[in-house]
Amino acid sequence: MAFVNLKKKEIQAKIVYYGPGRGGKTTNIEYIYKNFEDRIDSKMVAIKTQGDRTLFFDFFPFNIGRINGYKIKIQLYTVPGQVKYNATRRVVLNGADGVVFVADALAVQRKANIISLKNLQENLKHYQKNIFKVPFVFQYNKMDLLKKEVPILPLEALTGDLNEQLNRPSFVASALEGTNVVATLKKIIIMTVASIKMSLQ
C-alpha cells in the first residue's frame, strides 16, 4: 500500500519488476539508472550473486516532483527471477503498488513466462491483492534478438499466453538497448499514481 505522509506531503509508491530469471528486470532498472543518474539524485542498490544474478532485490528510488501538492516518490524494485527464490520474491512484493511483468521473448522461455506469471498471482494473493486489479504493465523484452535471428516468440503467442485474460497495457521492448524501457516505466507510474489517487478519494 502506498505510504502517504501527511506531514511531509509525500507519497511513496512501490513498483516491482517481476518475471522469469534472466528476463531483463535488472537490465530495465540499470538502464534507467545509467541514463538518468545525472537527473536523479539517488543511488541504485543491487544485491547480486557472484554470477551477477539478482539474489535479493535491486532498488532504485527517485522523485517525480509534485502532483496536487504532494511529492511523489517512486521506489523501483526487482525480484530475483530464479525459481528457487520464491520466498524472497514474496518478501519483496510486500506493499507493491504497481507491477511490471518483464516477459522473456526467447522461444525457450515460453513456459518460464507462464510459470512466473502464475507465481506472481499466488504471491499477490498472499497479500490479499488481486492480479486483475493491481496496476500492471507487460513488457515483452529481448526483441532486439530478432535482428540476430534468435528464435523469438511472436507477439500473438506472448499475448495469448500471458495477457489474454488480464488485458493490460503492453510494450515490446529491448532493455539492453533501452527501447520502450522508459515508456514502460512511465505507463506504470501513471497507472500507479492514478490508482493511489483513487484510493485516497
Partner 1 sequence: MLNEEHLDRIEYILQENLIDKGVSCSLLIDMAGNIIANLDSDKAELDIYSLAALAAGNYGAVGAMANIVGEDDFSLLFHRGKDVNVHFTNILNDYLLIDIFDNGLSLGFLRLIVADAVKKIKFILNYQVDK
Chain residues in the site for partner 1 (CB under 8 A): 1-7, 12, 14, 42-43, 45, 47, 56-57, 59, 61, 73, 75, 77, 87-88, 90-92, 94-96
46 backbone dihedrals φ, ψ, rounded to 5°: -130, 130
In the complex with partner 1, the residue whose CB is nearer, 75 or 180, is: 75
Amino acid present at 26? T
CB of 180 to partner 1, least distance (A): 26
Degrees to nearest 5, angle at CA 169 with 167 and 173: 125
Q: Which residue, 170 or 192, is less far from partner 1 as judged by CB?
A: 192
| Sequence letter at residue 82 | Q
- Cβ closest to partner 1, residue 59 vs residue 171: 59
SS3 106: strand
Considering the complex, state which of residue 73 and residue 187 has its C-beta at the smaller distance from partner 1: 73
Separation of alpha carbons 181 and 161, rounded Å? 22
Query: Smallest gap, in angstroms, from Cβ of residue 119 to partner 1?
Result: 16
Please give the Cα distance from 16 to 11 (Å, whole number): 16
Smallest distance, Å, CB 14 to partner 1? 6
Amino acid at 70: Y
Report, in Å, the least distance between residue 84 CB and partner 1. Answer: 13
